[in-house]
Amino acid sequence: MPREERSGRRDGRRGGANRRVRLTEPLVRVDGVLRPTSWDAALDRAATGLADVSERHGSGALGMFSCSKASNETNYVAQKFARVALGTNNIDSCNRT
């Protein structure tokens, strides 16, 4: 199937911010069901999950993707975050594409 038939666009984008149905609040999974929550609660849960993985498996178990089409400054901040905040060198900016 041609790309424009799958996404409705010739440039390959799938709609993003222009989609009719968008999430307007964060969701967390509780007992297998996604439920709305506050941003603070969602970020706390994400931070707790990352800390738990790092504690149980070491910071090498964490990784991060960045975008090769982003600016050098954005990729620098992403790699700095991965190394300082997450404590990992596992970062890939997919520069092969």
Stretches where the chain sits below pLDDT 50 are 1, 3-4
**Domain extent listing, the chain:** 22-57, 59-97
- Tell me which H or E stretch contains 56: helix 39-57
Q: Could you give the CA distance from residue 70 to residue 16 in angstroms, rounded to a whole number? A: 17
Other C-beta atoms closer than 10 Å to the C-beta of 92 total 13
pLDDT in tens, 20-39: 777 889 999 999 999 999 99
Q: What is the pLDDT of residue 53?
A: 95
Q: Could you give the CA distance from residue 60 to residue 90 in angstroms, rounded to a whole number? A: 7
pTM of the model: 0.65
Q: Which residues contact 60 (CB under 8 A, 6 or more apart)?
A: 88, 90
Inter-residue contact 64 to 90 (CB < 8 Å): yes
